[in-house]
Amino acid sequence: MVDRGLLYREWKQNQVVILLSIVFLVLVNPLIVYHSYSISEACLVRFSDPRFCAFTLNYHINSHIQFNWMIGIILAVCLIGIERSKGTMDFLLSLPYTRRQIFQTKFWLGAVVIVCSQLVGFLLAWLLILILKPEQVNYFEHGSIGMIITSFMFYSLVMAAGTLAGNAFAQLLTAFATAILPYLIITLPIYHIGILSRFQAWDFFSYEFDHKLMDFTPIFYADSSWMLDSKYLLLIPAVMSILFYLIASISFKKQHNERNGHFFLWRKLDRPIQILVIVLGILGFGLVGYSTGKSIVGYIIGMIIGGVVGFLISYFSIYKKVRH
């Protein structure tokens, strides 16, 4: 699956990014533990009252570990998006390797960096906790293992977007749109039904429905609030990771016409995505126009503006090739 020659090539090309990613992912978790301990010790020096200076770890409150998923995005862009933007992907594909070998080497190199580095950081943090003995630790295992899963999910998502897109900007925009799309395609029509029918359609849906909908929206996991929910919630990003991996693997092998620089490598995606962008622009701006004055006139004006903005954005981003 993973070729040594390709692995060495990817290592040499992305050596700095990979090393910095490893250092960050390994150190961030133990540094969080030590930082909390230092704050507690400084508090004891100042107030000398242990009741006000308890050494506790709360991984669901302002924990910097929740930003680990950004490393996955950076690695995915470096491994695919930047190569497409520079035009070096054509040279890589001309080498005596199969597309499957190229993709598997790229994908699993980043995956190993993300997973193994965080596992090492988890073990170091666990050892520090045993040594420093905090009074209370909240969501340490759940938060640490959860961040490995969510980081891998975002990495898989951006890699999948990279196999569909022809440049780094298109890769990031496609990944972001996919991350929020499940929520948008359901909530926007519901709000518009409420506007057109003169009642609050959203009132017919409970808070639980809204919360469950967010569970299936990838961008929801960018925030650490998921730690407060059931531990089985992590099965959803785990399944989405597998789905994004399969999409990325199939897409990379099937895209024989690279079209580097274009928004999408597959030309047939251009028109449906443009229509989707225009529709979302109409719905989004229409909702904003209605909310400003609660009038149908503002609603219609907002929809017109949204249609124009959606058309211009989709036209100049999708149909204009980016020069290398």
114-143: per-residue pLDDT in tens?
999 999 999 999 999 999 888 888 888 888
Measured between alpha carbons, how far is 2 from 273 in angstroms, rounded to an integer?
33
What is the pLDDT at residue 60?
76
Residues of the chain with pLDDT under 50: none
Measured between alpha carbons, how far is 288 from 270 in angstroms, rounded to an integer?
27
Burial string for 250-285 (b: 16+ CB within 10 Å, else e) reads ebbeebeeebbbbbbbbeeebeebbebbbbbbbbbb
| pTM for the structure as a whole | 0.89
189-226 pLDDT, tens per residue?
A: 877 777 777 655 555 555 556 667 788 889 988 887 77
Rg (CA), the chain: 23
Q: For residue 118, how many other CB atoms are within 10 A of its CB?
A: 25
Residue ranges of domains in the chain: 4-171+229-255
Q: Is residue 137 classed as helix, strand or coil in its secondary structure?
A: strand
How is residue 185 written in tokens? 């395609």
